[in-house]
């Protein structure tokens, strides 16, 4: 084999005629010599969901319908979790795209929350899988208002004394 001049951070070129698929997330471009690693969408989805929930200011994942369907699905004993509510991912051989739908806590700066979610999701997925996360899209579906019963503006307050005793 001939020597190649490499600058730091580069990898040697694969010799012409070399066979094999990398399929390895985060691989350096060299063929896998002992097998391939495939990372299923559900794995990346779970990592993204957990990383999103870790961010302060996220009340929950998913819109109203996703939360209801998720709760219904979880109520069946032994039902496998095939997806994370509020998280959709597309995973390629070396890259991933993540879409998360959240309910934010009232009073949080939503633009800062979205950036914190992006940072946390990208860091977690890239660290755990070696995949390059090309984008994280954040959809804020709702804002959670956490009022006590005496502060709730929507609480039904009687306008007058009861007429029947």
pLDDT tens digits along 133-148: 999 999 999 999 987 6
pTM metric for this prediction: 0.64
Reply yes or no on whether the pLDDT at 151 is more than 90.
Answer: no
For domain 41-144, which architecture applies?
2-Layer Sandwich (3.30)
158's torsion region: left (phi>0), alpha (psi -120 to 50) or beta? beta
Q: What is the mean pLDDT of the chain?
A: 77
Domain boundaries, the chain: 41-144
User: Which pLDDT band, with edges at 50, 70 and 90, does 19 fall under?
Assistant: very low
Q: pLDDT band at 161, cuts 50/70/90?
A: confident
* Average pLDDT, integer, range 82-100: 92
């Amino acid at each position: 084999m001939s020597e190649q001049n490499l600058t730091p951070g580069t990898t040697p070129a694969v010799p012409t005629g070399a066979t094999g698929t990398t399929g390895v997330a985060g691989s350096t471009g060299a063929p896998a010599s002992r097998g391939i690693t495939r990372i299923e969408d559900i794995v990346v989805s779970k990592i993204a969901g957990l990383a999103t929930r870790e961010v302060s200011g996220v009340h929950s994942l998913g819109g109203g319908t996703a939360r209801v369907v998720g709760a219904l699905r979880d109520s069946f004993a032994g039902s496998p979790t095939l997806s994370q509510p509020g998280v959709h991912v597309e995973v390629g051989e070396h890259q991933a795209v993540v879409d998360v739908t959240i309910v934010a806590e009232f009073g949080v700066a939503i633009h800062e929350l979205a950036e914190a979610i992006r940072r946390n999701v990208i860091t977690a997925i890239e660290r755990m899988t070696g995949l390059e996360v090309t984008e994280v899209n954040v959809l804020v579906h709702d804002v959670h208002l956490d009022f006590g019963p005496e502060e709730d503006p929507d609480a039904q307050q009687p306008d007058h004394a009861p007429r029947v005793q």
